[in-house]
Structure 1
Amino acid sequence: MKKLFQLLLIIGLVMTPFFTSAHVKWFTNVTPQKETIENILSPLFMGLSLAAAIVLALLTLVIPKTTDWAKIKKLDDWLSGFRKYSRYILKYGTAVALMIQVANGTLFAPEFQLSNTLAIILTWAAIGFLLIPHHISTKIAAVILLGLFVYVALYNGIFHMLDYGYYVAIIGVLLVGSTKFEKAGFPFLYLGTGLSLCWVAVEKWVYPSMSLDIVANHGVPTFGFAPAAFVVMAAFIEFIVGYLLVVGILNRVIGFVVTIIFITTTMLFGMTEVIGHFMIHIVLIIFIIEGVSFYNPPIKLHKTKTDQFVFVFLNFIFVLATFILIYYRFA
């Protein structure tokens, strides 16, 4: 039953709608129309919220037992052997991601056009410093990227830039390398990426018209569900993935499955998807390699299984409600 439960969970993630992890603003020109809060909190939404909270809470009872399986241990040991390369993957992966973006006249995301000459020069400077194999040059590149992120945020708004908050986490990891704060880098990356995924997911609930336009015009399969219900469920999958990264459950499995999903979206959305999500691929590869060995997730604050179950159940409902209220008010 344990194996069946995990298998069903993985299948559910794999069957996630192809545009689940896509930023809908990249693929539609529909004018955003904010849905009423009454329609957002539909019976379907409330039912899925309760079901998701229960399933996530049950994972606290099931997942720890899988760590004793021989095949899981063998896989963990094999992946752990690549941990020494994680920071290099992030450093040089960031440089490649920036090259792809600059070559297409954008920065951080396809929607942010790179037209300012100074910004272009600074971006290439950051790429150059990232390619130099020394931690001082890496820190210089991180400072430049932080300045560029602030520059883009000033023009587009801080709440818009929360979609790409994982870049702040990446910059943080690059800055603290080879310092006494180095161990805090990857936990910050987990937190930043998870919160970004949660934030982007809420967009599909608050502005469903954009997602519905993508479903209609890009041939996105809905697996027999009505498009409106499909959008709600897709957003839940993305929100759950982000939440699991934050609380520290199933990170290696999530990294692998979501990477497969991102690859499949390329078949639908093409080069725009590659430009926008290449950096996410790099981050997910790091998650697959690292697991949670260095991360003391919030769930570990509670020692008994009952306490962990209650914590995850209530915390998921609280986090979900908080994200919706903040996004609805400010985005």
Structure 2
Amino acid sequence: MKRLSTATALITIIFVLFIPFVVSSHVKWFTDVIPEKEMIENIISPFFIVMTIIIAIILAILPQMLPKLMEFEWSRKTDRKLEKYRPFTFPILRYGTGLALIIQVVTGGLFAPELQYDMLVVPILTWIAIICLFIPHRYSTRTAAFIILCLFINKLFQYGVFHMLDYGFYLAIVFVLITGKTKYEQWGFPFLYLATGLSLCWVAVEKWVYPVMAVDVINHHGVPTFGFSPEIFVSLTAFIEFVVGYLLVVGILNRLLAFVLTGIFVMTTMLFGFVEIIGHFMIHIILITFIIEGVSFYKPPIKMHKTKVDQIIFVFLNFIFVLSTIMLIYYRFA
């Protein structure tokens, strides 16, 4: 009973910490405000530096706590049950991608609400890809993946590389679909973890560099800020979203993160409506596969270091390095 209470408390704390993520949608979907790039000295504020150090410390300690979390009987039972569904993750991703494309094509977009068609051939190719995805044959699936890749490249030329990095996980989906049932299929889902995590990190930085858009969403949609000013609240949500992406990349808490993110995206759907469903349906499908897959196939980078001290130092410094690198690239080119 004591262990159960401790586990419940831990999950509750994590969930509460992720509540500010409620405004973590792609803010460009819900505002017409012209983006204004914040000055770098305003972004790298004392608050930003302190939060970065605190989060780096927490993340460095977190992997040392995970073995304790896995000792709970409910955790082991959950893992065993979910392992049974791993053979279904590929079909879930394939058919889920097909459903996501159907929702997108009938609403006039592709990959995201703001990515509109630029030529008639795009919806035609999209419907061909959808049909191929629902034909349960590996060559049909690979044909669909190739078409999706071509459509993504088309959007790259239309909207630019740095805009499409928001949706880089579609490239990972293409890779999973192409390598399915081949000797390379073991690389598919690790790549999907990596691409999804990096996409979340990239979207998070948008809130630091263009905070005026997120603040406008808060003001016009009545998003609760829990006592924080809109500016501080936006910065906190950016930190949380970046941390989620980082944890997916390094392979920590993947199943728990997938559960939490799924619940949070359901809440954002209640807040923002149908546009949210269009934009995040594919993410929901990916998270379902993450819940089932866990990290049994994925060797986290932290495992390269044997001692606890080395692991703590690695995570601490690596988080600061990744945050700084993505921030500078986004600020310079996006």
Match of 2:279 among 276, 280, 304: 276
Find the counterpart in structure 1 of residue 256 from structure 2. Answer: 253
Question: d(CA) in 1 for partners of 2:282 and 2:39?
Answer: 34
Question: d(CA) in 2 for partners of 1:6 and 1:60?
Answer: 16
Cα deviation for residue 65 of structure 1 reads 2.0
SS in 1 for 2:113: strand
Question: d(CA) in 1 for partners of 2:114 and 2:149?
Answer: 18
String of CA shifts for 1:171-195, please: whole Å, max 9, x gaps: 1100100111000000000000000
Cα deviation for residue 115 of structure 1 reads 4.6
> In the alignment, residue 39 of structure 2 is paired with which amino acid?
T
Find the counterpart in structure 1 of residue 296 from structure 2. Answer: 293
String of CA shifts for 1:68-99, please: whole Å, max 9, x gaps: 22110001101111111000000000000000
Cα deviation for residue 18 of structure 1 reads 1.3
1:113-128 → structure 2 map (5 Å cutoff)? 113-128=116-131
Cα deviation for residue 165 of structure 1 reads 0.4
Cα deviation for residue 328 of structure 1 reads 0.2
Cα deviation for residue 294 of structure 1 reads 0.5
Question: d(CA) in 2 for partners of 1:155 and 1:117?
Answer: 14
The normalised TM-score by structure 2 is 0.96
Cα deviation for residue 6 of structure 1 reads 5.4
String of CA shifts for 1:202-245, please: whole Å, max 9, x gaps: 00000000000001001000000011000000000000000000
Matched, 1:227 2:230: yes
Match of 1:196 among 199, 203, 208: 199
Find the counterpart in structure 1 of residue 327 from structure 2. Answer: 324
Cα deviation for residue 67 of structure 1 reads 1.4
Cα deviation for residue 66 of structure 1 reads 1.4
Matched, 1:29 2:43: no
Find the counterpart in structure 1 of residue 158 from structure 2. Answer: 155
Question: d(CA) in 2 for partners of 1:263 and 1:244?
Answer: 21
Question: d(CA) in 2 for partners of 1:164 and 1:17?
Answer: 18
Find the counterpart in structure 2 of residue 177 from structure 1. Answer: 180
Question: d(CA) in 2 for partners of 1:214 and 1:74?
Answer: 41
Matched, 1:83 2:86: yes
String of CA shifts for 1:136-192, please: whole Å, max 9, x gaps: 110010000000000011010001000000111111100100111000000000000
Match of 2:20 among 10, 16, 22: 16
Q: 1:73 to 1:80 in 2, by over 3 A?
A: same
Question: d(CA) in 2 for partners of 1:53 and 1:6?
Answer: 20
SS in 1 for 2:20: coil
Question: d(CA) in 2 for partners of 1:75 and 1:60?
Answer: 20
Find the counterpart in structure 2 of residue 95 from structure 1. Answer: 98
SS in 2 for 1:32: coil
String of CA shifts for 1:39-81, please: whole Å, max 9, x gaps: 0011111111011101111101101221122110001101111
How many corresponding residue pairs? 329
Cα deviation for residue 297 of structure 1 reads 1.3
Moved over 4 A (4+): 1-7
Find the counterpart in structure 2 of residue 214 from structure 1. Answer: 217
- RMSD (Å) for aligned C-alpha atoms: 1.2
Q: 1:310 to 1:7 in 2, by over 3 A?
A: farther
The normalised TM-score by structure 1 is 0.97
> In the alignment, residue 133 of structure 1 is paired with which amino acid?
P
Matched, 1:303 2:320: no
SS in 2 for 1:111: strand
Question: d(CA) in 1 for partners of 2:15 and 2:54?
Answer: 16
Q: Is the 8 A contact 1:105 1:115 kept in 2?
A: no
Find the counterpart in structure 2 of residue 105 from structure 1. Answer: 108
Question: d(CA) in 2 for partners of 1:97 and 1:258?
Answer: 18
Question: d(CA) in 1 for partners of 2:256 and 2:110?
Answer: 30
Q: Is the 8 A contact 1:17 1:222 kept in 2?
A: no
Question: d(CA) in 2 for partners of 1:115 and 1:219?
Answer: 34
Q: Is the 8 A contact 2:21 2:241 kept in 1?
A: no
Question: d(CA) in 2 for partners of 1:239 and 1:183?
Answer: 26
Cα deviation for residue 32 of structure 1 reads 0.3
SS in 1 for 2:114: strand
5+ residue gaps in structure 2?
none
Q: Is the 8 A contact 1:197 1:241 kept in 2?
A: yes
Indicate the percent of aligned positions where both proteins have the same amino acid.
58
SS in 1 for 2:262: helix
> In the alignment, residue 19 of structure 1 is paired with which amino acid?
V
SS in 2 for 1:110: strand
SS in 2 for 1:232: helix
Find the counterpart in structure 2 of residue 266 from structure 1. Answer: 269
Question: d(CA) in 1 for partners of 2:219 and 2:273?
Answer: 17
Find the counterpart in structure 2 of residue 237 from structure 1. Answer: 240
